[in-house]
Amino acid sequence: MQPSSATDGSGGGGSNLRRWGPIVGIVVVIAIIAVVVIVSSGGDDKKTASTSSGSTSSSGGTSSLPAGAVPFSQKGNRTDLTFSDKCDQSTGKLAMPYFFTQECFANVADNGGATAKGVTGDSITVVVYIAPDTDPILDFITGPIQDNDTAAQKQATYEGFTKMFQDYFQTYGRKVNLKFLNGSGSSDDEVSARADAVKAAEEMGAFAVWGGPVLAPAWTEEIKARGVICLGCPAIPDPKPTVFPITASGDQTRQVLAEYVSKKLAGKNAEFAGEDDFKSKNEVTATIGMASSPAPRGSCGVSPSARRRA
């Protein structure tokens, strides 16, 4: 099965604003803690918000905000805005003890209803990938940290974190509806990964998915091809605009390694070599590639010269 080029076919007249609405946040996609928030302003809100859209620097940088998303920092002297009771109005941020606490966003009267596949006026469907309880590859990876949680325990953790963030973050009247997909194959099984991805996007109606089989980027390719947001999924060379992986793809890692070696090591003496005889000699580098299928998915760079210079 090849990656599909299908689109979600959702309503919205092709408008990016209608498709995405104001995306308030995709928060902390590390391990299992993440929150997806999507809203779409509608009706009279567009007129009011048009003077307030722009940029916000609540996290130290600036980013464009679609019409309808009004952060606390842009409240100014407006008296027509209301905020959640979970907003600390003395700071303008959510009232939760969390390092990444974000700025409050104003409520809206109309969230736009069903703005995208997996999004209705009162819910956002997020499909969570749960790996099989027995997976030789994943068990080897997680063994050293003694991660022995069962699929049921992992599901309970997802549900707990989702409820916590849902209680605080502005989701404009929508609730995150979690659906759980139990993986049908091992972490490197490309065939089952594609089949599971199609199921998540087409049968389960996901707006977004969390996770995936860690060594099967085919999962991510299928999810992306269907216009579904992919959070914490296996990395692929071109993640834009809907894939948010935790780590770089194998191709990206090799590119960084090659650039480092060519710019920092090539043509230089091994001045930090352990043996004196090596210190006046040019660097010698080597890379060992590791792959479990015809298409390499990762590599382990081993550089004798880097070792000597460390």
Q: What is the pLDDT of residue 290?
A: 57
What's at 137, amino acid-wise? I
Q: What is the pLDDT of residue 19?
A: 35
Q: What is the pLDDT of residue 138?
A: 85
Residue 56: its H or E element? strand 55-56
Q: What is the CATH number of domain 113-247?
A: 3.40.50.2300
The owner of tokens 């090799």 is 254
Question: Given the DSSP bridges, would you call strands 229-231 and 208-210 parallel, antiparallel or unpaired?
Answer: parallel
Q: Where are the domains of the chain?
A: 113-247, 250-309
Q: What is the pLDDT of residue 291?
A: 56
The owner of tokens 């707006």 is 207
Q: What is the pLDDT of residue 266?
A: 80
DSSP string spanning 178-213?
EEEEE-SS-TT-HHHHHHHHHIIIIIS--SEEE---
| Residues ≥6 apart with Cβ < 8 Å to 261 | 285, 303, 306
pLDDT digits (tens, 9 = 90+) for 208-258: 999 999 999 999 999 999 999 999 999 998 898 999 998 887 777 888 888
Q: What is the pLDDT of residue 54?
A: 43
End-to-end, the C-alpha distance of the chain in Å comes to 45
Q: What is the pLDDT of residue 51?
A: 37
The owner of tokens 């809907």 is 242
What is the b/e burial string over 241-259, where b = at least 16 CB atoms within 10 angstroms of the residue's CB? Answer: ebbbbeeebbbbbbeebee
pTM: predicted TM-score of the whole model, two decimal places? 0.67
pLDDT tens for the chain, 310 residues long, are 333 333 333 333 333 323 333 233 333 322 222 333 333 333 334 333 333 344 444 444 445 787 789 999 999 999 999 999 999 999 999 999 888 899 999 999 999 999 999 999 999 999 999 999 999 888 888 888 888 889 999 999 999 999 999 999 999 999 999 999 999 999 999 999 999 999 999 999 999 999 999 999 999 999 999 999 999 999 998 898 999 998 887 777 888 888 888 888 888 887 777 777 777 777 777 766 655 444 444 433 333 333 334 3
CB atoms within 10 A of CB 6: 13
pLDDT digits (tens, 9 = 90+) for 185-204: 999 999 999 999 999 999 99
